[in-house]
Amino acid sequence: MASDKSVLVIDDAGPIRRVIEMKFKNRGYQVMTAANGEEGLGLIHAHRPDVVITDIMMPKLDGKSLCEQTVGLKEERPFLTIVITCRISPEERSWTGQMRDTVLMEKPFSPSRLVECVEQYFGGDGC
């Protein structure tokens, strides 16, 4: 994939951030990371990444609130959001399904599947 695409990984678990970061860097993506939703939201506003991968359960600002606060940004410039969580409730399926360019993935997840989803999105095939 072209190196002009950027990915922001937001997760309070350092090992998860590093695994995802390395997987995308190895595929030529520019990668930023954040340890909580508040930090991630600041990076979204400052850098406008092409993809945001976020956990739901995080300190300072959870993934759902982060997604809700980026709705307006997606109207201006669409980007893919992949929400990862170890618990998928019917409510989570509902709110993520109603958000533009938002996909829900369950932990444990395959880093390769994340990359595949992103590349499908950029190829126009959805995720």
Q: Does residue 57 belong to any structural domain of this protein?
A: yes
Q: Which residues have a Cβ under 8 Å from the Cβ of 110 and sit 6 or more positions away?
A: none
90-126 per-position pLDDT tens digit: 776 777 777 888 888 888 888 899 999 999 998 877 6
Q: Does residue 104 belong to any structural domain of this protein?
A: yes
Q: Does residue 126 belong to any structural domain of this protein?
A: no
* pLDDT for residue 1 is more than 60: no
Give the pLDDT confidence score for residue 92 in this predicted structure: 66
Q: Does residue 23 belong to any structural domain of this protein?
A: yes
Q: Does residue 127 belong to any structural domain of this protein?
A: no
Q: Does residue 31 belong to any structural domain of this protein?
A: yes
Q: Does residue 95 belong to any structural domain of this protein?
A: yes
Give the pLDDT confidence score for residue 15 in this predicted structure: 95
16-30 per-position pLDDT tens digit: 999 999 999 999 999
**Domain of 10?**
6-121
Give how many domains the chain has, as a whole number. 1
Give the pLDDT confidence score for residue 2 in this predicted structure: 55
Q: Does residue 100 belong to any structural domain of this protein?
A: yes
pTM: 0.90
Q: Smallest Cα–Cα separation from 83: which of 53, 60, 62, 111?
A: 53
Give the pLDDT confidence score for residue 108 in this predicted structure: 82
| 20: CATH | 3.40.50.2300
